[in-house]
Each structure stands twice: as C-alpha cells, then as structure tokens.
Structure 1
C-alpha cells in the first residue's frame, strides 16, 4: 500500500486551518514540524486538484511525495520530537532516550495515527488526565489513534480500559503501543462507539475526534456514561464550544470545565 505525504511550509497560525480543511479530504494523519506540517493519506483516495485548491488558497509552499508503508517510520523519525506535557509526562518514540526525571512516560511508535501528543487536542486531554485520579475507574478511549490517552489512564491507575477506532491502521498502532507500555490488558476493538453495547457504562469517556462526529454521537456517549461519570471531549475549535454544550446539556450532561491551546479546545462534562 502506498501513501501520499504532503510537506507543507507554513506559519503556526495557518497549520490549524490547514489541518481542519485537509481533514475533510482523505488526509487522516498530521504532524506539526518546525517549518510547518506533514499530512498523509492513502494514495487511492488522493485528489491532487482538491489538495492544490486548498493549499493555493493559503498561499503555502508544499511538496508531494509517494511513500510506501514500510518506509513511513523513517519519514516520521526525521521530524518527530518528544512531547512534554505539564512538566510531568513525556511522550517519546522508541528511538528517543528515556527521561527518568518525568514521573510519567508514554512510548509511542510514531506511525500514521493521530494522537502522538504533538497536536493541541491530544496534549490538552493528556494534561487533564494528569490531574485526574483514575483509580478504580472504568475507562474508554474513543477514536484512540495511537492509544496515548488510554495508556495515560493506565498510568494514572485505571485497570478496566477499552479503546476503539474506525481505522485498522490505528488499531495496529495502538496494539503495538499498548505492548510497549505494558498495557496489553486494554480491550481494543475496530469500530466506533456503536461497537460498544448501550448497556455497558464507563466512569470516564475520552473522546478526541472532531466536532461533527461529536455532535452526531453525543447521545451515544451519554447512554454509555455511568452516573457521576466524566465525559472528556476534544478535537474541535474554541468557537465550537457553544454548539457542543448546546448538544450535551439537554441530555443531562453538566458542564464542568474547558481548556484551550492554539485555538483548539477541550470540554469536560459530568453526568450527575
């Protein structure tokens, strides 16, 4: 299988808009770099004219490369740096040196999965998890990507953990990352929230997807959230908070807190 990778030179402000627009095309993996952005998708779904239209609109320079799956790790390794979250956690790749000064360490094989910690949405949820006591909690990571959020819940004390993603590549990557972090007990399934029975309830739901999916599936999350449970949402912009609150609160989900980083937002609700 071949993949198309875009190497885009742009400033930080444009990166957020480009990620949002390219996400509407077949691009499903992004990584911010010092000079801009890397984006990738399967070659089969790539439309050069659509991509050119988006990138020309933002007046950015870019390079298009075709990359074989077996070579993707090499491409990531050239641009992948460790991520520091709240001075307590480091998210690093296997080719980085361990940093024992951090209480929490997540080891990620940086393949084509969203959720390496570099993006502001993943970073915010990881930071929230650092301040939450997961001891004895039943947790699910919806749209798990690399599995980083599920791994953090394990490090923070959760023992009953599930993770789902609709992308078989993410499932493969998560399985590998769970093994690297001693989390083989995490129950991993291919699919979305619909693969989880409505009768199964979770104390904590971590959902880092995008605004449209969150709005469409809000009732599904509420059904699977246990009484006094916590729903953590991310993957959207700060200006989307009002729409998400308007969707969640009529279902009995009570607003708890929010955060923002580079215009990307996180929302937390409680089911009281």
Structure 2
C-alpha cells in the first residue's frame, strides 16, 4: 500500500493559491486540489523530506499577508483514502464547446457533448485544474482528423482520450509513474479507445515512433524546457506542440526556449494565472 504525505494549507490567500500549487508541483507534488479556502497537496512519502518541507513552508510563509497567519497541517494517508477524496469532490465539468469530463460514478446527460469518463486515482488529470482545461481547449481548437499524437506525462490519459474522441487516429501516452500507467490503461478501456491508445511506462526516450502530428505535454516548466529538443525530434515538419503546466510569469522563458529550438508560437491560452502555449515546428 502506497503512503502519501498530505499537506493541508488552511485559510490560504486567494491570490496566492496558483503560486502555491505551482511551487508544490516544482517540488514534486503529484497533485493538488482546492477545498474552499484550503489547498491540499500530495507527495509520495518516499519523495518527502525535511528539505522539501522547509522549502514549501518558507514559500507559503513569505506569501502571507500582513497580520494573517496561514495554518498548515501535515499528515500521512494511505492510497485508498485518495479515491474517497476524489469521489466526494469531483463533479462532471464542461470544457470548451464539446467536451465533458466526468468520473464513472457520476451521471451526465446533455445532447451533442463528447463524454470522457475519468477515474483519476493517483494520476493527474481530471479536468478540474486550469492546465488540463487549457490543454483540452487547445486540442479541441487545433486537432484535425486522422492525426497521430504523442502525450508526454499522460497521467490519467485524459488528453489522449480526448484527442481520440475528437478524431485522432492513434495516440501514444508515456509516463514514468506506475500509478499513471495503470490508470491510463484503465481509463482507455472505460472510454473504449484502447485499440487506438498505446500507453508506455517510461520516458520520452522509450518512445520509438516519430513523425507525430501533435505532441502534448502538461508537466511543469523545467521538464518542458529540458524536453523541447526531444519534442522537436518527435514531431513531423509543421507538427504542433501544445504545452502547459506553468504560470503566466514563465511565458517569456518558455517562448524563448521554443524559438531557440525553431518552434513558431501560434497561440497562447490563459485561465487565471495558468498558460498553455501552442507552437509549430
């Protein structure tokens, strides 16, 4: 049984929530969610240590408003509690013009919508975070029929499943987390797309295929910057790269690295403080 460290940040400043979630992700958090005025972030126990704890606590303390005291609690939880948390909080959500993301235990009926069923478990990707919604909106806007897609850091598989339901011919999803790998396979079966969705446990270096029409990556700033040359190698000429997982303050840095590696910036989508950038080889 996997054990997780749950960080509850109570009474967090409203204008600092995105920064806290982003910073926790940079430190290795596998997911965060907002619960009213609170934020809960999760780390694998084996990845959690005093250095990360102090970095996170210091960052949060520095964000405090004058005369306010942010309350923080830290506890261990076992893996089964995660599913209980998701089941209590996740509701169906409409994204873009066509997509609806819902867990299997919820009902949704509306004509003309493309339903994507996601049971997230420990994998990131439920449609409830801005970066996932931005990626889905960009996919809906730019994806064309019969294309070939590479989804790096596939998580729950939500982006690949959406791409297939929007007309992609094949998707390859890769993730180095075993939970994500298993969850993506399960969600592919739930959505009846497993014949078009190949899931790899590993990194982008374990993907042998090239000439993708689209590369998708909703990860974090540092990982994306590091992999831009590899994204370029995997794409065919004029292929699209859609990335997210970073704040608007990082836009200049991301775009600079894309331009250096011969990508053309096509579009920038924004929700709150989060961005997705669409570029072209």
Question: What TM-score, normalized to structure 2?
Answer: 0.89
Match of 1:261 in 2: 271
Match of 1:231 in 2: 241
Q: Aligned-pair distance for 1:131? A: 2.2
Residue 3 of structure 1 contacts residue 42 of structure 1 at CA under 8 Å; is this kept in 2? yes
CA distance in 2 between counterparts of 1:62 and 1:113 reads 24
The runs of 5 or more residues in structure 2 that have no matched partner are: 64-68
Task: Name the stretch that deviates more: 55-64 or 201-210.
Answer: 55-64
Change (3 A) 1:211 1:218: same
CA deviation string 1:131-175 (max 9, x = no partner):
234311000111111111101101111121100112111111111
Match of 2:144 in 1: 134
Residue 26 of structure 2 contacts residue 220 of structure 2 at CA under 8 Å; is this kept in 1? no
CA distance in 2 between counterparts of 1:87 and 1:137 reads 20
Residue 117 of structure 2 contacts residue 191 of structure 2 at CA under 8 Å; is this kept in 1? yes
Match of 2:15 in 1: 13
CA distance in 2 between counterparts of 1:33 and 1:178 reads 28
2:186 aligned to which of 166, 169, 176: 176
1:122-271 correspondence to structure 2 within 5 Å? 122-185=132-195, 186-197=197-208, 200-271=210-281
Match of 2:58 in 1: 53
CA distance in 2 between counterparts of 1:144 and 1:209 reads 9
Task: Name the stretch that deviates more: 73-82 or 170-179.
Answer: 73-82
Task: Name the stretch that deviates more: 66-75 or 226-235.
Answer: 66-75
The runs of 5 or more residues in structure 1 that have no matched partner are: none
Matched pairs, number? 270
Change (3 A) 1:12 1:134: farther
Q: Aligned-pair distance for 1:11? A: 4.1
Residues 1:96 and 2:88 aligned together: no
Change (3 A) 1:11 1:107: farther
CA deviation string 1:98-129 (max 9, x = no partner):
23335111111132222211111111110122
